[in-house]
Structures are given as structure tokens and as C-alpha cells.
Amino acid sequence: MALNETHDLSLTSWVTSANDSATDFPIQNLPVASFRVAGSEQSFRGGVAIGDQIVDLQQLAEKSIFVGLAQDALLACSQEDLNDFMAMGSQAWSALRLALSKALRSDAPEQDIIASCLVAQTDAEFKLPCTIGDYTDFYTSIYHATSVGKLFRPDNPLLPNYKWVPIGYHGRSSSIDVSGQAFHRPCGQTKAPDATEPSFGPCKRLDYELELGIYLGAGNALGDAIAIDDADKHVFGFCLFNDWSARDMQAWEYQPLGPFLAKNFASTVSPWIVSNEALEPYRVAWSRDENDPQPMAYLESEKNRSEGAIDIQLEVLLETEKMRSEGEQAVQLSQSSFKHSYWTVAQMVAHHSVNGCNLKPGDFFGSGTQSGPTHEEAGSLLELSKGGKEAISLPNGETRTFLNDGDNVIMRGYCHKEGHARIGFGEVTSLVLPAKQ
Amino acid sequence: MALNETHDLSLTSWVTSANDSATDFPIQNLPVASFRVAGSEQSFRGGVAIGDQIVDLQQLAEKSIFVGLAQDALLACSQEDLNDFMAMGSQAWSALRLALSKALRSDAPEQDIIASCLVAQTDAEFKLPCTIGDYTDFYTSIYHATSVGKLFRPDNPLLPNYKWVPIGYHGRSSSIDVSGQAFHRPCGQTKAPDATEPSFGPCKRLDYELELGIYLGAGNALGDAIAIDDADKHVFGFCLFNDWSARDMQAWEYQPLGPFLAKNFASTVSPWIVSNEALEPYRVAWSRDENDPQPMAYLESEKNRSEGAIDIQLEVLLETEKMRSEGEQAVQLSQSSFKHSYWTVAQMVAHHSVNGCNLKPGDFFGSGTQSGPTHEEAGSLLELSKGGKEAISLPNGETRTFLNDGDNVIMRGYCHKEGHARIGFGEVTSLVLPAKQ
């Protein structure tokens, strides 16, 4: 992929809110979601964000003003699940992006027609953008792996395979929902370190994980590996992802086969999918410390070295029940960047398929918790509170080691640098309800 | 559930092959699959096995000779995926079973109409019977867990959580296919115990796992746990399941988050789903050794104690390339029974949902490798060959520690006891192809 006219910083839109330098959704972004007018009986359908508006792709398809691949893409986006659009591949994704970019520009002759297809974002509700077949969670932050490893295995924090294998495991797709998800604190078995037997009850160490989510595109047939330099063609786009975790349940259940009930009670995605193409200006070089093992051949390429990483700023905020009732703003708990990831997205794709495992349109990867190199950049409370030993003080006098009922966790993400448009991800929020008992 | 007229041993069918005492598919069984005439352009549709024939449920639905819930069930079974039928719940499953039982009996007046809907099993091809949303693999044989544990962790074979937690982990659904699946030996990273670095190449320790597969029915909403005594209503039925495993890849990758590429390259199910109701005569008492911890309240019930286990005989056979070329029969490697399972299906369902995790129609559980108490009853080569240390001698002079290219692994299962009809599962076969490189 390369920069093209859709990335041009000088482009402005006749949707004037898209020209605000603080918007997440300028004309250079154009992320897609599945939405409908809130509270309506409409079926959900694809939409593209522009400023504070949404272009209704089902309505636009009916206008038949696009042609060829762009119109075919619009028809695929008229469905409530975007799997068919994802399956069309990167040529179709680019064709729709270019057609929308042209039609939304300040001087576009299509303005009146498109304007009739706009819905204000404040009037919309969202759903998961596709049927997620399989969900895989990776573990790509070496800072997260090391600090969590210290808590679970003090003598052996980073296992010998970490620097060779892009560690991942299968997660549960049924309990993934879109921003706004409210879920009950899970119940389960836990065992206190000094107890002789486990006990049953509500999770006492409920945590978030600050992750990037990755939707897969066309995918591969069973038995065919995806070469690392072909991986990007299979990546449909990115979102924010909160991979809720019950740390006390996790500690008791995770050996020998990995996390299970500690993770599968809820996971939350942001509604908008930012395309791989929109992120092109934010690709940066990826490197491996010379003292570390270098990647095996199937995980190595010049392209991956020169542009494999992506500089996406991520932040997590907390809004407690007290803050809500007193009208206070949510407070930032930490910020980090995806550029710190020990493994790139292309390496995740190449690794996942090297044994012939088939990836399908709409499959989903979590990046793993994106903790940065310093303690302040940790992407989970487990790390920020040092395993629950040091409470975090909030500006309003409250403290937290893990999450309380009524806590609302908010994650945001964006890319920004001189000479390029800000590419925002919007946000993912989700509320902790008391345990059902 | 209780025994009813459909279980009556004295029932015979006008499909005379169903009256053979050796058939897997007497009139008391009536398992369902998704099939079509092999090589045809037909869409797949539901079918029910009777003797050596299949009742085409799509054709039968068009005849409109059933009424009410049974006819509604037929319409759901006219689709290529049986998820809608699974979602209808146990009342609908029973209604269809009873209507088919009556119509297939020796004296049934519907004989001519149903006869026009029969397809010979030898003329059919099968597909996965539903879209599997999420697949969870359990680990319910304490004999398997102990002997595998000894190989991976000699000092610590059975972890402290095993007797408290029905251990399970999420698997990959995209690579599950139906009997007849041929797959390439997977490539990946492995590390020999004495090597300083891992290497990349074809798996050298390819293994099968003898499991029972379980399809879920209606399921639960996110946040709602399924009580142990309600679990059976959520179990649609059972099949045979071969959970292929790359042991050398597994040993290198599985810590700390569990098996991943060692498992997700292929998994194979038998085509027929035997209903929970058909297995009713084979339910047996379940107990827990008095020296072991007794189950926590959410995993405990009188009903589970009195009839939670099911006595399903399982066997695994090997047909090597040499046997095929010389016209020799496959040889049995081991046999076992699901009655040895440390946890029951109801306990698996209750545990999986106790944290609010939602189960959906068509979701799939693997029981975990069903090894019995003796070495000869081991459900994997890893166990039979004691970690590859002792080769198994085959009658034709060949030996195996793990699988060779060209090996065809066959699993069969059935229930049989005095006074009840034999309930068979058919078989699952799958062929190992050489690695693609």
C-alpha cells in the first residue's frame, strides 16, 4: 500500500464538522460501522463516519451514483453484517474509500444526493459490525507479558518462547459486544494464595485490558499459509478493544490450558473500523533489539522491518459512579502506543496461518494488552496497582486497585503527526454492573 | 428426560436394514446430519439415518404429512445448517423424533410417502451439520490429564485445580470439518529439549485425540447462568470428534496461554448427531471418589449423581498407507468409554455458563481425550507410546510412535446393553497428507 489522494491533508469536506482539526473522523479517515437510527425498527446497515455525521451506505446504494466495484461494495455494505464486504478484498475496500472521498470533498457535485443519506452520529445506535467467527487474542506487548508474568510467576516472568512465538490463544466470540455493553460482574471459582480450598463468588479482581482489535478480510483456505508480505491484504481494519479480565478467576483456572471463564463473560469493541489504508501515514519502522533472537524466516521481511509497526496512541479513562453522580469528567488512567508491540500485525497473520489454519472474513484478533515501556503506560489495573498491592488515587479522593461496580471504562485511540490528518478511532465504553446472585 | 415409546426395543422398521442387530442406526436412534446426494448440485439439507438409508427431511417437509411442532422442525431441518432446528429446543427435537419413529415403524401407513424421501447412505455426502459459532475443548478424563501431565510436567502431573474446575479452553471453529477431511501435516516452531533455539518445519509428533463432540441447543443470554439440572435441555446431541494435535508444537507454544497452532490446523467430526434423548437408556450414575473434593454447589445435583454419566463405547483404529495398498483391514489401537469422564456434560454446561458466558445454538464442546483407567484405554498416541518412547507394533510389522503421512485414523462409537437397542455413532475418518512446503 502507498499514500494516495485520499490521504491528502489539504482535502476538506462539505460536511463541515469533518474539517475541525479535533475530529476523529476527517475525510481522510472514513471508518465503517454497522448502525441504525436509535430506537427505530430499521435493520442495521453499513455506515461511514464523516465529522459528526454518518453516511448511510444502504441509502446511498439505492441512489446508484457510484459505479463498478464501489457500487458493488455499497451493496455489500447495505447488509447488517459487513462480512461480505470484508470478503471482497482490499481492491473493493479501496474503491469504496476513493469514491466516498471524492463525493464528500468540498467541491463534490454529488453533495445534495449524499446529504440526503446523512444521519447524525448522536441519533445512531450501533451493533457489532460483522459476525465474528473466530476470535484470537494475542499477547504482543513484552512490557505487559513481563509485568504480568512477574505477578503470576515471580521466578519466571517471561517464558522462553516469548521472543520466538507471537503467543496467542483462542477466545470466545459469542460474548463480544459493541461499545455501550453493560455486563454483570462474573461469578466463579477463585482460590486465595493461603487458602487450602477454592471458594465461589463474585470476582474480586475485575480488570480491563487496553487492546487494539483487528478484523480480518478475505482470508485463506485451510492448508494455505499467508506469507508475511501478503498479510496486509488480509487485514480489513482496526478498532479499540477492551478485553475484560477476572484476575482472581484467571490465576486459579489458567493452568495448563489457558484463560477461560476469566475472559469469556464479556469483551467490548468500539463501533468504528478504521481501515488499514487510512492508517498508512502512521506506519513506522519495526525493529528487534539486537540482543534478542531475530524472527524466523516466516516472520521476517524487509517490508515488515520498514513499515510493520503502526503508531496508534491509546488511552484508558475511568468514570466512577461517584464521578457520574457529581458531574465530574472521567479521569485518564494511562496512555500508550501500539508502536511498542513486540510483534506486528503482519507477523500475527503469518504466524496464525503458518500451520494452515484458515482465517475467515470477519474473524477478529485482539492485540493483547498494549502496555508501554514505563509503569505509567500500563494497559491494565493489574499492572498499575502492582497486582492489587498499591491502590491508585483518583483526583476526587476515590481509590482503585481493581474495578468497582458502577465503574465505566472508556478507551480512546488516535493517530496524529505533523503533515497528516488526525485519524481517530472514537471510543469504547462499557459499564460494570453488580454480580447477579 | 425419561424412557418413552421411541426407546422400545420391540420396535422394528419397514426399512429392513434398520432391524439388523449390528446396525448403528435402528429406529430407536434416528440421528440427524446435513447431507446431499454425492456429486449433485443439490443444496445440503437435514437428513435422519435409518438402517443404511437417510430420510431426506427437506423432501419430507414438502409432503406436509407431519403437523404442528414436528412439521415446524422439518422446515427448520430443510436448511443446510441445522442451527435453527437446534435453537427450537428439546420439545421440538422430541416432537420430530416421535413423528419419525411412528412413520418408520413396520406397520406405518405413511410408508409409501416416506419411502419416496429415502436416499441410500452410500450415495450421500455430508457437511458440517451447522455453523459452529464457538468451540470449547474440555479436559474431562483424569486419566488423560494425569498421563499427559506426567510427560509435560513430570514433577507436577495433575495440577491442583483439576479436581475442582472442569478445565476447558477455547478452540478454533473455522478448521473443524466433517469425516473425510484430509489435511496437510502442519508446519511450525518446535524446540527439542536439548536444543538452545527452536527450529521450523513439519510437525514430527502428530497425534489424534479420541473425543466425544457435543452440540449445544437453545443456549442462554449473556449474563444468565444455566443451572446444572437445566443443562440437558441445552444439549442437542453428540458425535465423535478427532481433535488432531501437533505434540511437538504444543510443548513449545502452550505456556502461558494454552494450545494454539498445535490444535487449530484441523479437527474432524462424524457426520451424524445422536440426540440426548436417544442416549437416555445409557445414562449411568456418576460419582466422585470419596477422597477427592466433592463438586461445588453449582456443579452438584442429585440428578447429576444418579444419571449424569453416559456409557458410550469409543474406539480408535489406524489404517496405514501400506494396509490400504495391501487390502488389509484397519487395526484397533484402543478402546474406552465416556463413562470414565471425571466431569459430566451437565457439569460442563453449568461451568461454562456460571460466569454469564452465553452459549448459542450450534456451539460445540469437545469432551477432551477420553482415556480410560488402564494404559490400553489411552485415547492418544502420546499416551500409548509413552511420549514417543515406546513404539506400538502393528500386526503387519509396521510400528508407530506418532502418525505417518498417509495414515487414516478412524474412530467409532456405540452404546449397547441387554434389553436396549444398539445406538451407534457411525464413524469419523480423516487422512494425514504430507506437509506443504
| Numbered residues of the known binding site of B | 137, 139, 153, 209, 211, 243, 250, 254, 263, 267, 369
Instruction: Kindly state whether residues B111 and B139 are assigned to the same domain.
Output: no
Inter-chain residue contact B363 with A298, CB threshold 8 Å: no
Bridge partners (DSSP) of residue B337 are B313
Among the partner residues A152, A169, A265, nearest to B258 by beta-carbon distance: A169
Q: Which of A144, A234, A340, A351 is catalytic?
A: A144
Residues 6+ apart with CB under 8 A from B168: A257, A260, B136, B137, B138, B139, B348, B351, B352, B365, B368
On chain B, the residues whose CB falls within 8 A of the CB of A254 are 256-258
Whether residue A236 sits in one domain with residue A344:
yes
The residue among B77, B110, B127 that closes a domain is B127
What torsion do the CA atoms of A173, A179, A183, A186 make, to the nearest 10 degrees?
50
**One domain, residues B259 and B382:** yes
pLDDT digit of tens for each residue in chain A (437 aa)? 689 999 999 999 999 999 999 999 999 999 999 999 999 999 999 999 999 999 999 999 999 999 999 999 999 999 999 999 999 999 999 999 999 999 999 999 999 999 999 999 999 999 999 999 999 999 999 999 999 999 878 888 899 999 999 999 999 999 999 999 999 999 999 999 899 999 999 999 999 999 999 999 999 999 999 999 999 899 999 999 999 999 999 999 999 999 999 999 999 999 999 999 999 999 999 999 999 999 999 999 999 999 999 999 999 999 999 999 999 999 999 999 999 999 999 999 999 999 999 999 999 999 999 999 999 999 999 999 999 999 999 999 999 999 999 999 999 999 999 999 999 999 999 999 999 97
- Whether A92 and A18 map to the same domain: the answer is yes
Chain B residue with Cα closest to A145: B256
Beta bridge partners of B316: B334, B411
Task: Pick the residue of A260, A348, A433, A437 with the most B CBs within 10 A to test the interface with B by mutation.
Answer: A260
Q: What is the pLDDT of residue B155?
A: 85
> Which residues does chain B have within 8 Å of residue A252's beta carbon, measured at their own beta carbons?
161, 165
Q: What is the pLDDT of residue A152?
A: 77
Q: What is the pLDDT of residues B151-204, one digit of tens each?
A: 878 888 899 999 999 999 999 999 999 999 999 999 999 999 899 999 999 999
Do A165 and B200 lie within an 8 Å CB cutoff? no
- In terms of Cβ atoms closer than 10 Å to its own Cβ (0-12, 13-18, 19+), residue A419 is exposed
Cβ <8 Å between A173 and B266: no
Residues B115, B156 share a domain: no
Q: List the one residue out of B174, B60, B244, B268 whose CA is nearest residue A222.
A: B174
How much is the pLDDT for A285? 97
Q: Report the chain A residue with the minimal C-alpha distance to residue B221.
A: A175
B87 with B178, same domain: the answer is no
CA distance B418 to B423: 12
pLDDT digit string (tens) for chain B, length 437 residues: 689 999 999 999 999 999 999 999 999 999 999 999 999 999 999 999 999 999 999 999 999 999 999 999 999 999 999 999 999 999 999 999 999 999 999 999 999 999 999 999 999 999 999 999 999 999 999 999 999 999 878 888 899 999 999 999 999 999 999 999 999 999 999 999 899 999 999 999 999 999 999 999 999 999 999 999 999 999 999 999 999 999 999 999 999 999 999 999 999 999 999 999 999 999 999 999 999 999 999 999 999 999 999 999 999 999 999 999 999 999 999 999 999 999 999 999 999 999 999 999 999 999 999 999 999 999 999 999 999 999 999 999 999 999 999 999 999 999 999 999 999 999 999 999 999 97
How far off is chain A from B170, nearest CA to CA, in Å?
A: 5
Among candidate residues B104, B127, B150, the one where a domain is terminated:
B127
How close is the nearest chain B Cα to the Cα of A408, in Å?
18
Whether B180 and B275 map to the same domain: the answer is yes
State the pLDDT at residue A165: 98
| Number of domains observed in the structure of chain B | 2
**What pLDDT sits at residue B153?**
81
A427 labelled as ligand-binding?
no
**A79 and A139 both lie in a single domain:** no
Question: CB-CB: which of A149, A174, A255 is closest to B161?
Answer: A255
Residues B102 and B155 in one domain: no
Rg value, chain A, Cα: 22
Separation of alpha carbons B324 and B429, rounded Å:
14
User: Looking at residue B73, which CATH number applies to its domain?
Assistant: 2.30.30.230
- Specify the CATH number for the domain of residue A246: 3.90.850.10
List pLDDT tens digits, range A8-45: 999 999 999 999 999 999 999 999 999 999 999 999 99
CB-nearest to A170 from B161, B171, B186 is B171
CA of A209 vs chain B CAs: smallest distance (Å): 16
B170 part of the active site: no
Residues making up the annotated binding site of B for Ca(2+) are 137, 209, 211, 243
Residues of B in contact with A137 (CB under 8 A): 257
Q: Is the peptide bond before B256 cis (omega within 30 degrees of 0)?
A: yes
Q: Are A75 and A99 contained in the same domain?
A: yes
Are B271 and B393 found together in one domain?
A: yes
CA distance B356 to chain A (A): 6
Last residue of a domain, one of A127, A152, A179: A127
| Interchain CB distance below 8 Å, B293 and A197 | yes
Most A-contacting residue of B170, B243, B347, B349 (CB-CB within 10 A), to test interface: B170
Residue with cell 460442563: B348
Chain A residues lying within 8 Å of B152, measured CB to CB: 256
pLDDT at residue A323, rounded to an integer:
98
Q: What is the pLDDT of residue A153?
A: 81
Q: A24 lies in which domain range?
A: 5-127
pLDDT at A156: 84
Q: Is B275 exposed, middle or buried (0-12, 13-18, 19+ CB in 10 A)?
A: buried
Per DSSP (E only), the strands in B234-390 are 235-242, 245-246, 267-269, 274-275, 283-284, 309-310, 313-319, 331-337, 364-366
Here the ipTM equals 0.97
How many inter-chain contacts (A to B, CB under 8 Å) are there? Answer: 200
Binding site residues of B for Mg(2+), as ranges? 243, 263, 267
Which position has the grid cell 459452529? Answer: B132
Is there a contact between B256 and A258 if contact means CB atoms under 8 Å apart?
yes
**Same domain as B182, residue B256:** yes
